[in-house]
Amino acid sequence: MPVLSAPRDARGPAVPAGPASRRRTGPLVAGLLLLAVALVAVCAFSLAVGANALPPRTVWQALTHYDPADPHHLVIVEKRLPRTLVGVVAGLGLAVAGVVVQGLTRNPMADPGLLGVSSGASLAVVVAVSVLGVQDGGRIWFAFAGAAVVTAFVYGVAGAGRRGGAGPVTLVLAGAAVTAALTSLVTAVLLTDRSALDQMRFWQVGALAARGFPVLWQTLPGVAAGLVLAVAVSRPLNGLALGEDTARGLGQRVGLTRALATLTVVLLCGSATAAAGPVAFAGLIVAHTSRGLAGPDHRWMVPYAALSGPILLIGCDVLGRIVARPGELQVGVVVAAVGAPLLIALVRPRGRGRR
């Protein structure tokens, strides 16, 4: 007598249930709780550490009984608090975008900047500053618009004449070509405009310094919308990971999944890049570590990345304040310095028999 298997959900691959699944869920939830505790701890360090280190009691008093006349309270609430919150939002955006773009391209070495998001945002901001004279408050909108336009262009070029939308290989090639071209344009503008270079040099390497509450409020809606979309596409990305033919066999609309995933990357990485600049390695590293901790299921990778990304970004920001005291290193420099050897450790072959 043939054995009847349970039907699969048309929205994605079948997920095993029962005691084994519950045993797997327990450690994953515990891991999320540990990451949440680590995020709170690193945020506390960010509020306390700077040119002048402040005791935890002063930080707590500034948050609960703010006194504008107290210079220490003023530094914590007006300078370090918005800087920390922008780091949380930007780190979340870059990390979750890394998970989504790797699922979209089925490429474990893919980075959010691969789709032209960072280069599009950089070019838009440089042009806005150099040509239009835009000041700090308006840069974020140009950065977001540039990221959206360039990513849509890359997706259109990669999917031109291809049924079902852009494939992973053509998407990677188109993104790499457009990114190289736009990076050259950014360099040319900065080399010919000294005032634009002076204004953009810290943003261009990635920085959280001097980020106030206005930047936070401008960045938050895009990242929040992108996070909601990332949760929504996490299950279809599981199906896409099995291959396009298998995903279609499960009832997925592959073209729609790719379009929604691309929009997710634009919202997340575009907003984060607009706030903190093009921070390299952040999305790539966190996507790898999230996969190692949570497994290949995007429904778990997304929340793991949402907590791990801010920990990495704020932790590197704090480290930059410590190693160069009384000055500081910008967070983009520290993330690159930490991320390069970490990425090598993640991708190097393990075991004697592997090459």
Domain that holds residue 279: 35-346
User: 194: helix, coil or strand?
Assistant: helix
Most confident stretch, 50-64, 79-93, 264-278, 280-294: 79-93
Question: Is there a domain that residue 19 lies in?
Answer: no
For the segment 256-273, what is each residue's pLDDT rounded down to a tens digit? 888 888 889 888 988 888
Give residue 273's pLDDT.
Answer: 85
Is residue 12 a part of any domain in this protein? no
Angle at which helices 168-192 and 81-105 cross, to 10°:
140
In a domain, 221, yes or no: yes
334: domain CATH number is 1.10.3470.10
| DSSP symbol at 210 | T
pLDDT at 317 over 90: yes
**Does residue 326 belong to any structural domain of this protein?**
yes
Token readout for 161 is 């004449």
In a domain, 149, yes or no: yes
Average pLDDT over residues 211-228: 91
Within a domain: residue 225?
yes
pLDDT in tens, 126-160: 888 778 877 666 777 887 788 888 888 887 777 66
Tokens for 303, please give them. 């929340």
Q: How far apart are CA 49 and CA 213, in angstroms?
A: 19
For residues 111 and 87, give the distance between their C-alpha atoms in angstroms, rounded to a whole number: 19
Other Cβ atoms less than 10 A from the Cβ of 324: the count is 13
Cα 150 to Cα 120: distance, rounded to the nearest angstrom: 5
Q: Is there a domain that residue 321 lies in?
A: yes
- 14 band by pLDDT with thresholds 50, 70 and 90: very low
Whether residue 69 contacts residue 203, with contact meaning beta carbons closer than 8 Å, is answered with no
In a domain, 121, yes or no: yes
Give, rounded to a whole angstrom, the gap between the first and last alpha carbons of the chain.
46
Alpha-carbon Rg of the chain, whole angstroms?
A: 21
Burial category of 200 from C-beta neighbours within 10 Å (exposed 0-12, middle 13-18, buried 19 and up): buried
pTM of the model: 0.85
How many structural domains is the chain composed of? 1
